Amino acid sequence: MTYIAKPKLHHPSLEKNKLGFTRRDYEGAISTLCAGCGHDSISAAIIQACFELDLPPHRIAKLSGIGCSSKTPTYFLGNSHGFNSVHGRMPSVLTGANLANRDLVYLGVSGDGDSASIGLGQFAHSLRRGVNMVYIVENNGVYGLTKGQFSATADKGSKSKKGALNHDAPIDLVMLALQLGATYVARGFSGDKVQLVPLIKGAILHQGAAFIDVISPCVAFNNHDGSTKSYDYLREHNEAVNRLDVILPRQPITADYAPGVVEEVVQHDGSTLRLRKLAADYDASDRASATAFLHQHEARGEVVTGLLFADPEPEDLHAHLGTVDVPFNQLGEAELCPGASALDRFNASLR
C-alpha cells in the first residue's frame, strides 16, 4: 500500500555500515507488487549489496523503463537519484546521464519485455558501447504488468497459465550480452539471495558494462507446471557454475582453497572477485568457452547461473570517447562555453 509510510525511527541496535547507515537507509517505499513476486527479492538483494559496500545513497542513480520490474526502484534506495523512463528506453537515458556525470553508480533495472522486446536495440547498444553501469533484467518470461503475454525470453514449448504453447524461439539475454561485448555477465535466481548479493556487488565494483539476468518468477501469470520460469522449475534445473565472494581492496583474504578450486579476478579498483568453482570445467575468463558451455547445458534444459564472464580490464564509453574527467555540473562557464575562436578551431579540425 503506497499510502502506508514506513516509520522513520530506527531501533538503536540495528546494524550500521561504515557510513553509519542501516539497511533501512537503503530501502524505499512499501512494495505494491503481488506477494511472492520474485522482483521483491531482487530489490532486497540490491539493498543488501549497497549496504554492504558502504555506498553513499546520494552517489547512486537508479533508472528503469516500464513494467512491474521497472516499478521496483520505488521500493529500494529511496535516498538515491531515480528516473522512471519510457518502455524500453532506460539504456539511452542512463547513457546520457552517465556521460553528463561519470561520478555516480548507475543501476539500470528492466524486465524481459522492456529489454528483450521493445528495448532490444537499446539493450544491445548500451552493452556494446561499454557504458559503465549495472544492468539488471528481472526475467520472468512474461509481460507481468499487462497480464501475462509471452515475452521474447519465454522458452519455445513453454505453456502459458491458460495452456497456450509458445512457438517462438527464445532470446537468451546472457548469450547476447556475451556476444555484444559486455565485460561482466552473470545470471542469478531471485530465490537464491546468497548467490545474488555478491553478483550485484561485483557488478557495482566493475568499471564497465555489467549485465545480470535474474530469473524472477511471476506468481500471478507464469509460475505453473509447464513454465520454465517458475520457482519449481528453477529449483530443479538451477546449475550454478561457481560461487562468488567479493573482497574489497585492503580486506584480508581469509579462507584457503585447494589450487584449481578458486579463480581470482583482481579488478581495477583493487577489489578481488573470488570464484569458488562448482563446475570444474567452467572458465569465466573466456567468452567463447563460456558461450559453448551455456549452449550445451541449456540444450539439456538446465539454467546456468553464477558469474559467467568477467574481464578484469574493462574499457568504458568515457575512455572510447575521450571525455573530460570532471562531471558537467562541476565545470565552469569558461569550460562549457569556450568561445567563438575555440569553435572555429574545432570546426576547422573537422574539414
Which residues of the chain form contacts with ligand TPP (CB under 6 A)? Answer: 66-69, 87, 111-114, 118, 138, 140, 142-146, 151
Choice from 65, 108, 111, 130 touching Mg ion (CB under 5 A): 111
- Sheet containing 303-310: order of strands: 81-84, 60-64, 105-111, 133-139, 209-215, 184-189, 303-310, 238-240
Least distance to ligand TPP from the beta carbon of 136, Å? Answer: 12
- Sort strands 60-64 and 105-111 into parallel, antiparallel or unpaired: parallel
Given a contact cutoff of 8 angstroms between Cβ atoms, the answer to whether 183 and 210 are in contact is yes
Based on the shown chain and the rule CB under 6 A, indicate whether residue 218 belongs to the binding site for ligand SF4: yes
Distance of closest approach, residue 290 Cβ to ligand SF4, in angstroms? 29
Cα Rg of the chain (Å, integer): 21
Rounded Cα distance between 340 and 351, Å, is 17
Which range touches ligand SF4 (CB under 6 A), out of 34-42, 153-161, 292-300, 343-351?
34-42
Q: Name the strands in the sheet holding 242-247, side by side, starting at the edge strand that comes first in the sequence.
A: 242-247, 272-277, 262-266
Residue 314 and residue 128 in contact, taking contact as beta carbons nearer than 8 Å: no
Nearest residue (CB) to ligand SF4, 37 versus 77:
37
Q: Pick the closer one to ligand TPP by CB: 151 or 271.
A: 151
Q: Least distance to ligand SF4 from the beta carbon of 158, Å?
A: 16
CB 62 within 8 A of CB 77: yes
Q: Which long-range contacts (CB under 8 A, 24 or more apart) does 245-254 make?
A: 245/198, 245/273, 245/274, 245/276, 246/198, 246/201, 246/202, 246/205, 246/271, 246/272, 246/273, 246/274, 247/271, 247/272, 247/273, 247/274, 248/53
- Residues 316, 131 contacting (CB under 8 angstroms): yes
Residue 135's beta-bridge partner residues? 108, 211
Give least dist CB 228 to Mg ion, A. 13
| Residue 215 near residue 189, CB atoms below 8 Å | yes
**Contact flag: residue 39 with ligand SF4 (CB under 6 A):** yes
Q: Which of the residues 226 through 285 are near ligand SF4 (CB under 6 A)? A: none
Residue closest to ligand SF4 (Cβ): 144
Task: State which residue, 53 or 219, has the beta carbon closest to ligand SF4.
Answer: 219
Which residue, 97 or 145, has its beta carbon nearer to ligand SF4?
A: 145
Q: How many CA atoms lie within 13 A of 26 on its CB side?
A: 25
Q: Residue 146: name its binding partner from ligand TPP, Mg ion, ligand SF4, none (Cβ under 5 to 8 Å by kind).
A: ligand TPP
Give the nearest distance from C-beta 45 to ligand SF4 in angstroms. 16
Nearer to ligand SF4, 68 or 93 (CB): 68
Q: Which option in ligand TPP, ligand SF4, Mg ion, none does residue 91 bind, with CB closer than 5 to 8 A by kind?
A: none
Q: Considering the complex, what minimum distance in angstroms separates the CB of residue 203 from ligand SF4?
A: 22
Among 33, 90, 105, 177, binds ligand SF4 (CB under 6 A): 33
Contacting positions for Mg ion (CB under 5 A) = 111-113, 140
Contacting positions for ligand SF4 (CB under 6 A) = 33-34, 37, 39, 68, 140, 144-145, 218-221
